[in-house]
């Protein structure tokens, strides 16, 4: 589960070089990144990313004839924060790299810095506003922050991390994500209490009586019904809760004309049809009622959970029947086999993507090397003159970074661009073939794993007998 943040970085009243260096120096902080261990980059060397970003903007000005002013965007800053204890720094950096690559479509250089100095691991991603070909700039759009969040959620799901299902687009959403570390608001307490007591209510009067019994003061004297706990300074109006918690919605829930999911989510009246674009899941994981009761859930939640478990158990058995599985050993084999196949496909895709990224980086460095070789030759012929260095600092730095990159790969002879492009095309073809069956394999693996977990919970050690008896 990860929260995201997206912001454009303008020049403002500072020099462009100062503006870019300041943000990159912060995100590359050696204390926060384990001295650069958790930093990765695309189409740039993270040591010299500020100079490379500036060089691309000079080329952009030369190609397009458009200058820079204080309104221009130099770069974009994305932040991706993960739930404490759910991800390693290495995996977080990998997910951040995938997020940046997916959002920019590989058209902009970027740096991913994973910070480990807080109790929650988080990524800072800075990507250049100027494209790699230096002919255009990134065009920010109205819902860019939402797009970043959705890509991040998809990547988290693919990596087996939890996802925020109904995020709130507010400053408080990060606190909600941290869970018990943030105290619940009065409205959240009231909504949870309504979900707890409502299943046992047969009328609106019994609902009010249940609130009174739990120490809440209910007032129906005015136009809008209000509820107040003993330690609250002000009462809360039901109509301000919205959704399934208004006075009319509660009456519909009691009458059975409005159905709400187990977490008190956004249910809908019975005469409304769910969207056809989102296919319903065949079944969900069963609720561990005893564990939930130990966490403080009330009797109303227990009643709902028992009903929910019966329905989901029936759906699970229907799914297994459709799959032709009547034996627990067969379920175990099928679940293990599909999981193994899915992870094998995933590993092949990751390997292809890794090599493609390596090829792209190598092509970039070869291009940088050839583009700046003449300047560096002149610099060397000038006896490494300081004035010459000051006049061509960016080009010389990029040339030296390219040579350092080749040395890190122990390259004795540079490969040709044509050979690298041919290898990249072959890897891309292989990756596309693998992706054709990736999602189906992933969904099958998920369903069988969930089915096995549900059978284990229902059976209590007698899985084989239950499957055989209930499949008749």
pLDDT at 326 > cutoff 80: no
- Of 81-95, 165-179, 276-290, which gets the smallest average pLDDT? 165-179
Same fold, 2-180 and 286-472: no
Give 339-384 pLDDT, tens digit per residue.
888 888 888 888 988 898 899 889 989 998 999 999 999 999 999 9
Question: 2-180 belongs to which CATH class?
Answer: alpha beta
Neighbour tally for 185: CB within 10 Å: 13
Measured distance CA(254)–CA(389) in Å, rounded: 78
How sure is the predictor about 77, in pLDDT bands with cuts at 50, 70 and 90? very high
Measured distance CA(152)–CA(147) in Å, rounded: 8
Q: What is residue 68's predicted lDDT score, i.e. its pLDDT? A: 65
Contact 73, 129 (CB under 8 A): yes
Token pair recorded at residue 245: 């918690």
What is the three-class DSSP state of 287? coil
Give 82-130 pLDDT, tens digit per residue.
887 788 899 999 999 999 999 999 999 999 999 988 778 899 999 999 9
Token pair recorded at residue 349: 């895709």
Task: Kindly provide the b/e burial profile for residues 330-342, where b requires at least 16 CB atoms within 10 angstroms of the residue's own CB.
Answer: ebeebbeebbeeb
How sure is the predictor about 171, in pLDDT bands with cuts at 50, 70 and 90? very low
Measured distance CA(252)–CA(245) in Å, rounded: 10
Q: What's the chain's average pLDDT?
A: 79
Mean pLDDT score, 33-39: 88
Measured distance CA(431)–CA(438) in Å, rounded: 10
Token pair recorded at residue 243: 């959704």
**Structure-model confidence comparison of residues 99 and 454, the more confident one:** 99
pLDDT at 14 > cutoff 70: no
pLDDT at 172 > cutoff 90: no
Q: What is residue 262's predicted lDDT score, i.e. its pLDDT? A: 42
Q: What is residue 276's predicted lDDT score, i.e. its pLDDT? A: 36
DSSP alpha helix (H) spans, 172-322: 173-177, 186-197, 204-213, 247-255, 289-294, 299-322
Domain boundaries 286-472, corresponding CATH code: 1.10.287
Q: What pTM, to 2 d.p., does this model score?
A: 0.40
Name the residue ranges covered by the structural domains of the chain: 2-180, 184-280, 286-472
How sure is the predictor about 466, in pLDDT bands with cuts at 50, 70 and 90? very low
């Amino acid at each position: 589960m990860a929260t995201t943040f997206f912001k454009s970085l303008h020049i403002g009243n500072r020099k462009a070089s100062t503006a870019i260096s300041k943000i990159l120096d912060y995100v590359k902080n050696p204390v926060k990144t384990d001295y650069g261990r958790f930093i990765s980059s695309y189409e740039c060397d993270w040591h010299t990313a500020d100079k490379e970003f500036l060089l691309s903007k000079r080329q952009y000005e030369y190609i397009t004839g458009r200058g820079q002013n204080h309104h221009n965007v130099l770069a974009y800053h994305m932040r991706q924060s993960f739930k404490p204890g759910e991800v390693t720094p290495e995996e977080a950096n990998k997910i951040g790299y995938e997020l940046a690559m997916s959002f920019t479509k590989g058209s902009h250089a970027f740096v991913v810095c994973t910070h480990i100095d807080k109790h929650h691991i988080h990524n800072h991603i800075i990507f250049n506003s100027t494209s790699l070909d230096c002919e255009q700039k990134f065009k920010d759009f109205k819902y860019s922050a939402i797009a970043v969040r959705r890509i991040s959620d998809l990547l988290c799901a693919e990596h087996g991390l939890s996802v925020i299902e109904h995020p709130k687009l507010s400053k408080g959403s990060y606190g909600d994500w941290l869970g018990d570390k943030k105290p619940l608001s009065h409205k959240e307490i009231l909504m949870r209490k309504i979900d707890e007591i409502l299943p046992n209510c047969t009328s609106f009067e019994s609902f009010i009586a249940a609130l009174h019994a739990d120490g809440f003061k209910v007032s129906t004297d005015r136009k809008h019904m209000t509820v107040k706990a003993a330690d609250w300074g002000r009462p809360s109006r039901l109509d301000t809760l919205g959704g399934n918690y208004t006075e009319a919605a509660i009456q519909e829930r009691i009458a059975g004309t409005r159905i709400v999911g187990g977490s008190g989510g956004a249910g809908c009246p019975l005469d409304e049809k769910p969207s056809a674009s989102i296919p319903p899941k065949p079944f969900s994981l069963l609720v561990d009622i005893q564990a939930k009761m130990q966490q403080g859930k009330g009797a109303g939640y227990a009643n709902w959970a028992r009903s929910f478990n019966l329905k989901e158990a029936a759906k699970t058995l229907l799914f297994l029947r459709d799959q032709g599985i009547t034996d627990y050993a067969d379920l175990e084999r099928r679940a293990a086999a599909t999981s193994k196949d899915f992870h094998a496909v995933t590993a092949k895709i990751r390997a292809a993507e890794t090599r493609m990224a390596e090829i792209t980086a190598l092509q970039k460095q070869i291009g940088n090397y050839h583009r700046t070789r003449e300047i560096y030759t002149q610099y060397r012929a000038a006896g490494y003159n300081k004035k010459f260095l000051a006049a061509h600092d960016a080009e010389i730095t990029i040339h030296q970074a390219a040579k350092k990159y080749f040395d890190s790969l122990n390259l004795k002879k540079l490969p040709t661009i044509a050979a690298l492009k041919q290898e990249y095309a072959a890897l891309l073809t292989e990756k596309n073939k693998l992706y054709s069956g990736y999602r189906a394999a992933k969904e099958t693996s998920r369903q069988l794993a969930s089915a096995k977990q549900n059978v284990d919970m229902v059976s209590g050690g007698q899985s084989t007998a239950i499957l055989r008896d209930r499949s008749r």
